[in-house]
Structure 1
Amino acid sequence: MNDLIKNIGRAQPLSLKDRVNYEPGKIVSLTLAAQPNAGITLFAFDATEALNPHTAPGDAMAYILEGEARITVDQTSHHLTAGEVIVMPAEIPHAVEALTPFKMLLILIKG
C-alpha cells in the first residue's frame, strides 16, 4: 500500500483529484495501491497527451475525476466527462486521449 494511504488512515475523507497535479506536456501517475491481483492509480493528463492502444492483464475501470477524455475500447471511441466511468475488459485493446486536461482514477482487477 502506498505511503499516502498509510499516512492518511482509512477513515479520513480524501479528495482524489487533489492528490495528483498536472504537468505541462506530461501524464502524471500516482499509485495508491498495488497488489498481485489489483491496483489503484490516479492519473493527470495534460491536454492532448495520450496512451497509445494497449491491453491490460485484467479488467480496468476508469473513473473521470475532472476534464474530458476520449477512451477507445476495441476500436469504439467514447467521450467521457467528470463523473463518468468506463470498463475496459482484460486483453481488449484500449487507448486514452486527453481532450482537455483531465484526471482519472484507474482500478485494475486481474483474474
Structure 2
Amino acid sequence: MPDRKNEPLAGRVLDPKELIAYQDGSVVSRMLVYKKTGIITLFAFDAGEGLSEHTAPFDAIATIIDGEAEITIDKNTFVLNEGQLIIMPANIPHALKAGKRFKMILTMIHE
C-alpha cells in the first residue's frame, strides 16, 4: 500500500479498510480526524497484539470493521465482530486484544 499518511481525506468517499494495512507483529494506527472536540483513529491489530489495560478521560467508541476483537471493560470481556461496536466509558479501565487480526475505528468525543 502506498504511503498516504498526509493524503487529504475530507470531501471524499472512503473505505476505512483500505486506509490502513496490517503489519506482522504490530499495532498500526492512522488518525483521520484530530479536533479539539474529538478524534477518529483507524487501528489495525495483528493477531496476538493489543493495548494493555488503561483509562481515557472521555468515552471511546470502538467500531470493528474487519476481523474479531476482544475488548475488556472493567474486567468484563466482550468479543466483537465486523460491524459491531462498543462504548468504552470514560475513566473505566479497558484493554484490547487481537486473538485474530482486526481493524477498528476508534471515535473519541471530548466534552
* TM-score in terms of structure 2 length: 0.91
Shift of 1:37: 2.8
Measure the CA separation in 1 of the matches of 2:43 and 2:9: 19
3-state SS, counterpart of residue 91 of structure 2 = coil
Count of residue pairs brought into register by the alignment? 107
Measure the CA separation in 2 of the matches of 1:110 and 1:74: 21
Among the aligned pairs, what percent are the same residue?
44
Instruction: Indicate yes or no: 2:62 matched with 1:62.
Output: yes
Q: Deviations over 1:44-66 (max 9, x none)?
A: 00001010000011000000000
Change (3 A) 1:53 1:8: closer
Structure 2 unaligned regions, length at least 5: none
Residues 63-82 of structure 1 correspond to what in structure 2 (within 5 A)? 63-82=63-82
Measure the CA separation in 1 of the matches of 2:73 and 2:106: 15
Structure 1 unaligned regions, length at least 5: none
Q: Deviations over 1:22-62 (max 9, x none)?
A: 11100000000111231000000000101000001100000
Shift of 1:94: 0.3
2:46 aligns with 46
* TM-score in terms of structure 1 length: 0.91
1:32 aligns with 32
3-state SS, counterpart of residue 67 of structure 1 = strand
Residues 5-20 of structure 1 correspond to what in structure 2 (within 5 A)? 7-10=8-11, 12-20=12-20
2:101 aligns with 101
One-letter code aligned to 1:110: H
Runs of 4+ in 1 over 2 A off after TM superposition: none
